[in-house]
Every structure is written in C-alpha cells, then in structure tokens.
C-alpha cells in the first residue's frame, strides 16, 4: 500500500521507540542525533518517486527530547517511504561532526529499506544529487507465525551449513521459481533435510550496499556480492526479496524462517557490526555519519576526521559506546523476537572488543550485553574471533557462552591432510575438542565451531586442486585474498584430466570432511562442498555475483557419489553421541562405561607415536556415550604408503566397516544395514586414507 499525496497532519510524537512505528492514530517517527540542531522528515509515495509528497520540518521545541527527534504523522498509511535530513555543525576534524542538511539519510532503525535511485558512484563523483538516497519504508503488516518459535536444539547436536542466500539458488540450474531470494531458498529445504544439517548460517542478509566496491571493480561490472557492507541493520536485504518495492521484506524473510523451522532447521545470521557501508572519510554519508558520526565510529584522537580502521573496510563501529551497544543489542533482540532467528555469527567480532580509541578491552560491554541478554539466552552466538588489524582471540574471546570459528582447527587439519609432518599430537587435540584453547577458561568443546573451509577462502575442491590463489577475475591484480591457503593440488595446478590425480583429490576431500565430522565440537560445512563445487582457484569471490560465486546444481548428478558420502558421514556422526560430547576427551572412564572415553593408538594398539616427528598415522577408540551406541574406532593414515593397523579385540564386540576414504563409491561409506563384519585383527589402511569401524554387541 502506498501513500496518497497528503499533506498529513503533524503532531509532536514521542522519542520512544526509535524508527517508524504504526499506531492507531498514525505513524510515530523517532531518530537519535545528539548534536543536530534541526531535522526534516521527507515522505515519498515509493522507492523511486522523483519528489517527496510532503516535507516536515521538526520544531526543536516540540519535536526534540534529549537526544531524539520525533514526530507523529496522522493517518499515514503503511508503504510510505521516507528519509531524514539532519542539520547541525560541520566540524569533522575537531569534533567529528559531519552534519549536512542537503543529504537524505536512512533511518538506522528502519524495518525495511529500498535502494531506489541510489547511485554510490555518481554520489562520489558528482556530489549529492536531489533525493538520491536509499529510502526506508513504513511497515505494519500482520504476520501469522502459526505457532512457530525459534528452535531449541541442544548445542552439541548442531551441524552448521554456511550458505549465501543469493548464490544458493541464483544459478539457472537451481530450477526454483524465485532464484536468488529467501523464497527460492524455501524450495531447496528438502535438499537440506536430506543432507542432514541442523542449521543454516546465512551470509549477510541485512540490507547492504551492493555498490560498495573499489572503482576498478565496479567499472568492470562486478559488485559487492557477499554483503559485508551493511547499512540497514533491521531490514532484510531488498535484493533477496521478490517484491521489495511492495515492502514485503519481513514477510518473505519470515516465510523462509517458518518453513525452515517446520523442517527442523535453525537459522543463524552472519551479522556485520564491526563496520558499515559508509567507509572512511572519502566514503558517502548514508546513515550514521549524518546522525552522529562522532558517536557511531571510532575516530582518531588528534584528528577526528580520520577513521580508525581495524576492519579493512574504511571504518570501525564504536561498538562499546553506550548508545551503540544499545543499538546493536536492540537489533539482535529484534531478529530473535520478531523474526525468530536462532542465532548469530559475528563478522570480525574482535573489532567489537575495542574501545573508542581502538584499544582491546578486557570486558567489552557490548559482548557481555549480548552474552547476558535474556532475549538471546537460547540463541547461538558465534564469534569470528579476530579482526583485520591483528587482534586474534581464538580461545580467549571475552565471555563464556560465545562459540568461536576455530581458525586453528582449520589450519591444523589442512596441514595434516596435505601431508605436513609432526602434527599428530596437535591432530589429537583438535579431534578432542581443542582443550588447549578452551579448557583453561572453563569453556567446552561446544565453544569450538570446527571447519576446514568457509566462504572466505578456497572451496573444498579448490583446496585439494590449487597450491595458490587465482583471483585476477576480481580486478585487483591478484592482491586480494589470503596467500596462506595451506592447500595441496595433488601434483598439478588446477583442472586436469589425469584420473590418478582426480582420484587423489576426491580422497583428500573425503579425508578433510571425515576428520571434521569425527571431531568434538560443532562442525560447519560450506555450501557446495558436498558437491565438490569449484571457484576455479579464486579464494575471495566477494564481488563475483555470477556463476563463479554461485552453486551449480548440475553437480548434483556429476558428483552424486560425493553427496552420498557426505550424507552418510553426517548420519554416522548423528548415531554416535560419543562424537558429540559436552566435555573434552581425556582418556578418563566414560560415564556409564568401564572404558576410557578415548584410547589413542598408532599402527599398534595403545602405541601412538606422539614423539615421532615423521609420524603421519593415528588411531583412536571412542567408548559409547549413549545406551544404544556401540564403540567407534578410526584409523588415520596420511602417509604415502598403505599400513596394517591393529584393531582392538573385545570379546563382547564385533567390528563392522563403516567408512573407508580409500575406496570408491559405494563402498567408501556404508549404512549400518549394509555393513560387512571385519573378521581380521589387522586391517589395511591405504595411503592418505581414513578407515572407520563401528562396534556392535557380539
């Protein structure tokens, strides 16, 4: 519903709540701006209306309370688009003030935004044009959740699947009605159910600026695809909606969440509160710069015209300022309370541990507010525990409930599987839950989100196919993306038709995922890795909104054997509670069993070669952690030759072959009903292979 062309009667309104709130007699608007001296509210019929149908200049005597500007517009209908203009002192170097009454601003609390005629590059090249800003939308639609609530799955049962809403279904092969949208994702829920994951972790879905890229990248036809450039922290991204011009942002997002919950799948949002799309001093003013630049951003102490940049994106959000902390918490609680999401992953979360001057804080208020929030008490909170300026807090991130992307796990597993020596003790620590990182400060294995690949870096197939990055397509002269990939191409760089190398790469991919799902902690799988998706060696497709960055669904048929392997691997983890313990493996007696929770071996039983710097082999036995569970025994051989491993012999136990990465499908992984009993006391484990047997009562 769009607004008629007024004019509408204006009343003083109230300062709370912030944003645009539909009430019985109209719409109340309120924004924070501590140092503004004047404010105007501009009302538009739609996202691309050339002119506002009404401009309301607020009276500082009646429409200004403390630090808030507010007004109530009688009978204003939902669907109205709006912007703000704030006037005040312009003194960026001494005080950090950047008020400009000629720039229209997006309401930071807007529940929905549309891009309209926004053109970042025209703004930067030609200056501010009339009515050229993104616009917020007044929303008031009712929504029937049909009894839906956020999921309450025990943390240790979590299996995370990281995906990009646009890229997941945008490829023509996806076959969905609405590719690249929240509704398109709904059509792929049966696939996610069949795979066996419990949570999707959605790369940024809060409204972001697709035009926020370097000039040469934009001129080459590329755009900000990943979305780590937010400006609308309460609004679903309009680019993922089918009809954003109608203000359906919330409804479409909620439909997706409700459908996923019905399928038993939780929703985790990748959120970006470390920086915004406004960039540094040369970036455009879109929202925070125009309302309270000195409040929302970390600025240099001597020259407040300089933005402190700990994110690599031009600015750093001043997250521990009381108002900004409140804003962040308000947004997170909104997404849980009103949108029913199940958790958050915080991009470059260590930047949020810094004070206004950029110094790391021992107890950052914003992080503790998030941890202790009653509304967020049952939500997953996951930190990317580092930032772009060298603050690395994996294992030491402030708080106790916070889970962390375990970058050290990723590096250890990659190095071991590619063949590095001297890593067996570290491998055992990572398999056991990374106690070296988490146990000393009273955390548990469930604080560790284990992964070998994520959106940032090589895909699984590229990790075993390339020794170096190939990012020229990004138009940044191959400078972007990490150079330290800890990868191995198997003997040939990139694509090849050599059947031996291809077989080795498939085996290595299976090895990496097998170790991931045999580890204590929370496994995370990158979308498409189960189909061996490639980005042709590009380890940073942040600007590639094209087939290079999309999931090609034709791989379903081409790599069906790998998909089957991953499904059965997830099923193996799910039927063994011993792989999902809430305590670190220690070798102590397992609860309800007369066996240690883990027993370590080498080629021979009870003889792990911890001190051999050349050793590339390890085996272990897990005792049951549940009444209906049997033993589990794994034998790992990353050496270049096959070796005979000794199997434990229990008179009450029979071993059955469950998984062998050295075999071709369909014998590489076998469901319990089809498993063959292992009769021999020793078993051959092929080179660069992992073999797993399951025990059952004799």
Residues 130 and 31 in one domain: yes
Q: Which of 567, 463, 454 lies closest to 517, judged by CA? A: 567
* 143 inside domain: no
Sorting pLDDT into bands at 50, 70 and 90, what band is 4? low
Residues 438 and 541 in one domain: yes
* 355 inside domain: yes
Q: What is the DSSP string of 284-319?
A: PPSSHHHHHHHHHB-B-SS-TTSBP-SSSSS--B-T
Quick one: pLDDT at residue 591?
74
Catalytic residue numbers read 347, 384
pLDDT over threshold 80, residue 648:
yes
* 435 inside domain: yes
pLDDT over threshold 60, residue 484:
yes
Sorting pLDDT into bands at 50, 70 and 90, what band is 627? confident
pLDDT over threshold 80, residue 590:
no
Tokens describing residue 574? 């799910």
Burial class (CB in 10 A: 0-12, 13-18, 19+), 440: exposed
Q: Tens of pLDDT along 209-238?
A: 999 999 999 999 999 999 999 999 999 999
Percentage of residues of the chain with pLDDT beyond 70 = 99
Domain end among 554, 577, 600? 577
In angstroms, rounded to a whole number, what is the distance separating the alpha carbons of residues 388 and 365?
Answer: 21
Q: Tokens 């240690």 — which residue?
A: 596
Instruction: Report helix, strand or coil for 10.
Output: strand
Sorting pLDDT into bands at 50, 70 and 90, what band is 144? very high
Q: Tens of pLDDT along 675-694?
A: 999 999 999 999 999 999 99
Q: Tens of pLDDT along 225-271?
A: 999 999 999 999 999 999 999 999 999 999 999 999 999 999 999 99
pLDDT over threshold 70, residue 5:
no
Residues 556 and 609 in one domain: no
pLDDT over threshold 50, residue 610:
yes
* 145 inside domain: no
**How confident is the model over 273-296, as a mean pLDDT?**
98
CATH of residue 270: 3.20.20.80
Alpha carbon 679 to its chain's center: 45
Length of the chain: 698
* 231 inside domain: yes
In angstroms, rounded to a whole number, what is the distance separating the alpha carbons of residues 159 and 522?
Answer: 6
Q: What is the DSSP string of 615-650?
A: --EEEEEE--SSTT---EEEEEE-SSS-EEEEPP--
CATH of residue 616: 2.60.40.1180
* 364 inside domain: yes
HSE-CB of 601 using CA atoms within 13 angstroms: 20
Q: What is the DSSP string of 649-682?
A: --TTEEEEEEEETTSPTTSSB--GGGPPEE-SSE
Quick one: pLDDT at residue 253?
98
Quick one: pLDDT at residue 626?
82
For 430, residues 6+ apart whose C-beta sits below 8 A from its C-beta are 408, 409, 412, 413, 450, 519
* 373 inside domain: yes
Residues 433 and 496 in one domain: yes
Percentage of residues of the chain with pLDDT beyond 90 = 96
Q: Tens of pLDDT along 515-574?
A: 999 999 999 999 999 999 999 999 999 999 999 999 999 999 999 999 999 999 999 999
Q: Tens of pLDDT along 113-128?
A: 999 999 999 999 999 9
Residues 459 and 533 in one domain: yes
Residues 595 and 684 in one domain: yes
Question: Domain of 473?
Answer: 156-577
Residues 335 and 369 in one domain: yes
Q: What region, left, alpha or beta, does residue 478 occupy, with left being phi > 0 and alpha being psi -120 to 50 degrees?
A: left
Q: Tens of pLDDT along 86-104?
A: 999 999 999 999 999 999 9
Residues 34 and 164 in one domain: no
Residues 101 and 124 in one domain: yes
* Own/partner long-range contacts of 214-221 (Cβ < 8 Å, ≥24 apart): 214/475, 214/476, 215/121, 216/475, 216/476, 217/474, 217/475, 217/476, 217/543, 218/121, 220/475
Sorting pLDDT into bands at 50, 70 and 90, what band is 1? very low
pLDDT over threshold 90, residue 644:
yes
Residues 42 and 169 in one domain: no
pLDDT over threshold 80, residue 3:
no
In angstroms, rounded to a whole number, what is the distance separating the alpha carbons of residues 317 and 295?
Answer: 9
Residues 570 and 650 in one domain: no
Q: What is the pTM of this model?
A: 0.97
How many domains does the chain fold into? 3
Domain end among 577, 611, 640? 577
Quick one: pLDDT at residue 429?
98
**How confident is the model over 427-443, as a mean pLDDT?**
96
* 3 inside domain: no
* Torsion angle (degrees, nearest 10) of CA 666, 667, 673, 676: 160
CATH of residue 61: 2.60.40.10
Residues 39 and 173 in one domain: no
In angstroms, rounded to a whole number, what is the distance separating the alpha carbons of residues 35 and 434?
Answer: 48
């Amino acid at each position: 519903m769009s607004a008629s062309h007024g004019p509408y009667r204006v009343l003083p309104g109230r300062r709370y709540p912030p944003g645009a709130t539909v009430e019985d007699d109209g719409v109340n608007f309120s924004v924070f701006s501590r140092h503004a001296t004047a404010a105007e509210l501009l009302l538009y019929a739609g996202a691309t209306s050339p002119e506002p149908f009404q401009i309301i200049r607020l009276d500082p005597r009646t429409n200004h309370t403390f630090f808030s500007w507010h007004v109530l517009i009688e009978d204003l209908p939902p669907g109205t688009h709006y912007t703000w203009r704030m006037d005040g002192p312009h003194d960026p170097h001494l005080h950090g003030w950047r008020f400009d009454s000629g720039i229209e601003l997006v309401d930071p609390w807007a529940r929905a935004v549309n891009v309209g005629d926004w053109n970042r590059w025209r703004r930067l090249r030609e200056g501010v044009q009339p009515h050229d800003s993104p616009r917020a939308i007044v929303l008031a639609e009712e929504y029937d959740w049909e009894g839906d609530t956020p999921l309450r799955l025990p943390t240790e049962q979590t299996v995370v699947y990281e995906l990009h809403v646009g890229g997941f279904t945008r490829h023509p092969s996806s076959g969905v009605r609405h590719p690249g949208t929240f509704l398109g994702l709904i059509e792929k829920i049966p696939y996610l159910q069949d795979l066996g994951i419990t949570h999707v972790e959605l790369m940024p879905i809060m409204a972001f600026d697709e035009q926020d890229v370097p000039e040469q990248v934009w001129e080459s036809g590329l755009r900000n695809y990943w979305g780590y450039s937010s400006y609308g922290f309460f609004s679903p991204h309009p680019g993922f909606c089918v009809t954003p011009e109608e203000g359906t942002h919330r409804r479409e997002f909620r439909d997706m969440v409700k459908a996923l919950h019905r399928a038993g799948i939780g929703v985790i949002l990748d959120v970006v509160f470390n920086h915004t799309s406004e960039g540094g001093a040369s970036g455009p003013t879109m929202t925070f710069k125009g309302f309270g630049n000195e409040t929302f951003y970390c600025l240099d102490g001597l020259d407040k015209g300089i933005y402190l940049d700990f994110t690599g994106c031009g600015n750093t959000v001043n997250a521990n300022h009381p108002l900004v902390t409140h804003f962040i918490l308000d947004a997170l609680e909104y997404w849980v309370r009103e949108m029913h999401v199940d958790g958050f992953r915080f991009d470059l979360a260590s930047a949020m541990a810094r004070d206004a001057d950029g110094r790391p804080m021992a107890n950052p208020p914003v992080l503790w507010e998030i941890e202790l929030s009653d509304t967020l008490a049952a939500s997953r909170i996951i930190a990317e525990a580092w930032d772009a300026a060298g603050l690395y807090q994996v294992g030491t991130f402030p708080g106790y409930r916070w889970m962390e992307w375990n970058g050290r796990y990723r590096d250890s597993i990659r190095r071991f599987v590619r063949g590095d020596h001297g890593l067996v003790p570290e491998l055992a620590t990572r398999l056991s839950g990374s106690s070296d990182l988490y146990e000393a400060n009273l955390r548990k294995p469930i604080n560790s989100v284990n992964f070998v690949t994520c959106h940032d870096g090589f895909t699984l197939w590229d990790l075993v196919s390339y020794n170096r990055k190939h990012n020229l397509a990004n138009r940044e002269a191959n400078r972007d993306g990490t150079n330290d990939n800890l990868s191995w191409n198997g003997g040939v760089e990139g694509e090849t038709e050599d059947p031996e190398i291809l077989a080795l790469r498939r085996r290595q991919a299976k090895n990496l995922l097998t170790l991931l799902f045999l580890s204590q902690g929370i496994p995370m799988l990158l979308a498409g890795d189960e189909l061996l998706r490639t980005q042709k060696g590009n380890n940073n497709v942040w600007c590639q909104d094209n087939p290079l960055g999309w999931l090609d669904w034709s791989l379903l048929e081409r790599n069906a054997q790998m998909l089957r392997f991953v499904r059965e691997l997830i099923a193996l983890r799910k039927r063994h509670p011993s792989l999902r313990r809430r305590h670190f493996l220690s070798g102590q007696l397992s609860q309800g069993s007369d066996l240690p929770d883990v027993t370590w071996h080498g080629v021979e039983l009870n003889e792990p070669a911890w001190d051999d710097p050349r050793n590339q082999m390890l085996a272990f036995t897990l005792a049951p952690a549940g009444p209906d569970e049997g033993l589990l025994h794994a034998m790992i051989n990353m050496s270049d030759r096959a070796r005979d491993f000794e199997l434990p012999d229990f008179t009450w136990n029979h071993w059955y072959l469950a998984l062998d990465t050295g075999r071709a499908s369909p014998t590489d992984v076998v469901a319990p009903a089809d498993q063959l009993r292992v009769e021999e006391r020793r078993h051959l484990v092929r080179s660069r292979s992992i073999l797993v047997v399951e025990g059952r009562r004799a």
